[in-house]
Chain A
């Protein structure tokens, strides 16, 4: 294990952390794969943006967050919410458009909320959640809380002005924010190099007098270490950091299919990245170091399968919202 500490510059690394990283990634992967499996039934009548291949980032960052810390996510947000602690049932029910869903069936898969776990709502406008996350950090800072806000966005959001406006403000006010850019190289089907002159996202932090880290987003320990530094800095009042985690999305921009068949991206690129599968590589490492046994891994899979089966059964059995709900909650009404 000493070599791992040296490689990542970590002071300590417990078996629990390794197990938690594995568990978190696997839980996300299996959740997304379940959607792939069920989607053809056409009972889940909403667009799904899957994060298979990108699990290490959500897992590595959220492991440093407390329950009261905030997470702001985006349209590809299932993984972030699960990693932050969201239960599967209200998510799955939401995707099925049911009234038991986390957003009572009004949001769909792009709009997840779990206030108890610090998820105040995910935006499906690229870059839209970034200023909101900074706002939540401003709120916690004004209230004297010690919360940290992690904001997840893709390389597409780096094209948006909202990112620059938000980063500048977070830095100006030294707000406890960790900006996490999941650079999977594609905004829908448009490659980063077609959209960005520099393609050096993490470097932009310097312009805001802040720290940027570029890490292998498929290596949960690399993400874990970068997030450890960034969260600690934010928590002690050192202001925001930017983590650029390079990764790859296995599925198309939206839906359960791979998109190379439609000529969106080269198959050999996908094949290369599948070889870099964060779970596969991490599994090998855990076994090699004796941090987990195959039996323990099987137990984890079985437990997650149990949670998934319950979530799907709950979602399918739950009622649709009543028609009367259509005009409910357009406006907030103070409780009398």
Chain B
């Protein structure tokens, strides 16, 4: 399907475009902007607020021109008061609005944890279901050019631990648009974490409004030898890794979780039942995080495994600034390839015998 396909580059997409005229391609950032504009124009209760949403860059293009189109009252700049403004959004949502709150960096979310965890996540339950908080909090993971420790964090795991929240991490333009629309219509507080390196990715995005359901993973590539579960930017690394591994004779299945909470464990479990091997590639740290959770769900389901599980994560350190250290810091497709080789039985030669190896 064109909307599940990952295009590595503009060239690749343009080529697909030639084969399939009528396939509309836009970037990830344009997809977010389009979803936001459509939400604003179809629902009067929607508004956008965030530091710099009205500046000329428009949060890397995702809110560009929206203020001109929808006015200062519905697309508003925010004081540098992350917790306060999050609370304003929670209160506005309780009073019938549907705010989209935008943070330039995921690192700014911790400043607003009181309102996210103690208020937004609790309001529906704590009052017996009589009020709900339709709110999307967008934030962006930075990477590279010395972003360093406070402008590059992947904090999704923190939010996965909180009942009442939903967490989404779209990896493609199609999902960015569809998940954002679904998230705002969901009626619950949703943490949407984007990755800056995805912003210029091009993919098929229909012009009309559509929803990508929350809580549904997607198989990006089918395979039988090993399952790679990935999120966000790591989905692209995983797809490239799977292509490289194909040449070695290892046929990988790549699953893009898309929603981390609630997690589509059924899709993962079904895949691992088939392959018996699992690698999880996340943009964040290792402990108590996405990989740990995926693996726990597989273990709890009693899936028979052929080899130990492997996680691909950031090293246990804050992000360094120097390009030399940055290079060493971020895992990529090679780390995923290594991880799959490890699970597949220590290298290419053994891989040939994969299907005959005994189940653990």
Q: Contact residues of A with B, CB < 8 Å?
A: 70, 72, 101-107, 111, 113, 115, 120-121, 123, 125, 128, 130-140, 142-143, 161-162, 164-166, 168-169, 172, 328-334
B268 within 8 A of A: no
B130: which of A103, A105, A168 is its contact (CB, 8 Å)?
A103
* In the complex, residue of chain B having the shortest beta-carbon distance to the beta carbon of A165: B84
Q: Are B95 and A102 in contact (CB under 8 A)?
A: no
Q: Are A132 and B127 in contact (CB under 8 A)?
A: no
Q: Are B128 and A105 in contact (CB under 8 A)?
A: yes
* In the complex, residue of chain A having the shortest beta-carbon distance to the beta carbon of B129: A329
Q: Are A329 and B95 in contact (CB under 8 A)?
A: no
**10 other contacts beyond A102-B127, A128-B87, A331-B164, with CB at 8 A cut-off?**
A104-B129, A121-B126, A134-B87, A135-B94, A136-B91, A136-B92, A138-B92, A164-B81, A168-B81, A329-B129
Q: Are B73 and A132 in contact (CB under 8 A)?
A: no
On whether A166 and B84 interact (CB within 8 A), knowing A125-B119, A128-B114, the answer reads yes
Shortest C-beta distance, A6 to chain B (Å), equals 39
Q: Are B84 and A169 in contact (CB under 8 A)?
A: yes
Q: Are B129 and A135 in contact (CB under 8 A)?
A: no
Q: Contact residues of B with A, CB < 8 Å?
A: 47, 73-74, 79, 81, 83-97, 114-115, 118-119, 123-134, 163-164, 166, 185-188
Q: Are A131 and B86 in contact (CB under 8 A)?
A: yes
B127: which of A106, A131, A140, A172 is its contact (CB, 8 Å)?
A106
For A330, the chain B residues whose CB sits under 8 A away are 124-125, 163-164
Shortest C-beta distance, B33 to chain A (Å), equals 22
Shortest C-beta distance, A71 to chain B (Å), equals 12
For A130, the chain B residues whose CB sits under 8 A away are 87
Shortest C-beta distance, A170 to chain B (Å), equals 9
For A134, the chain B residues whose CB sits under 8 A away are 84, 87-88, 91
Shortest C-beta distance, A66 to chain B (Å), equals 15
For A136, the chain B residues whose CB sits under 8 A away are 91-92, 94-95
Q: Are B188 and A331 in contact (CB under 8 A)?
A: yes
* In the complex, residue of chain B having the shortest beta-carbon distance to the beta carbon of A168: B79
Q: Are B83 and A131 in contact (CB under 8 A)?
A: yes
Q: Are B128 and A132 in contact (CB under 8 A)?
A: no
Q: Are B73 and A169 in contact (CB under 8 A)?
A: no
Q: Are A111 and B127 in contact (CB under 8 A)?
A: yes
Q: Are A113 and B163 in contact (CB under 8 A)?
A: no
Q: Are A142 and B97 in contact (CB under 8 A)?
A: yes
For A331, the chain B residues whose CB sits under 8 A away are 124, 164, 166, 188
- In the bound assembly, the distance between CA atoms of A325 and B187 in angstroms comes to 20
- In the bound assembly, the distance between CA atoms of A3 and B138 in angstroms comes to 58
A142: which of B47, B84, B85, B186 is its contact (CB, 8 Å)?
B47
B81: which of A113, A128, A142, A165 is its contact (CB, 8 Å)?
A165
- In the bound assembly, the distance between CA atoms of A101 and B128 in angstroms comes to 9
A165: which of B47, B85, B130, B133 is its contact (CB, 8 Å)?
B85
For B129, the chain A residues whose CB sits under 8 A away are 104, 328-329, 332
A-B contact pairs, 24 of them (CB 8 A): A103-B126, A103-B128, A103-B130, A111-B126, A111-B127, A113-B127, A113-B131, A121-B127, A131-B84, A131-B90, A131-B91, A132-B115, A135-B88, A135-B92, A138-B88, A138-B97, A139-B95, A139-B97, A161-B81, A164-B84, A165-B83, A165-B84, A166-B84, A332-B186
- In the bound assembly, the distance between CA atoms of A106 and B126 in angstroms comes to 5
For A72, the chain B residues whose CB sits under 8 A away are 91
Q: Are B130 and A113 in contact (CB under 8 A)?
A: yes
Instruction: Please name the 4 residue pairs, one residue from A and one from B, whose CB atoms are nearest each other, closest first.
Output: A135-B91, A131-B87, A165-B84, A104-B128
Q: Are A125 and B114 in contact (CB under 8 A)?
A: yes
- In the bound assembly, the distance between CA atoms of A172 and B134 in angstroms comes to 24
For A107, the chain B residues whose CB sits under 8 A away are 126-128
On whether A120 and B95 interact (CB within 8 A), knowing A107-B127, A328-B129, the answer reads yes
A162: which of B83, B97, B186 is its contact (CB, 8 Å)?
B83
A125: which of B94, B118, B166 is its contact (CB, 8 Å)?
B118
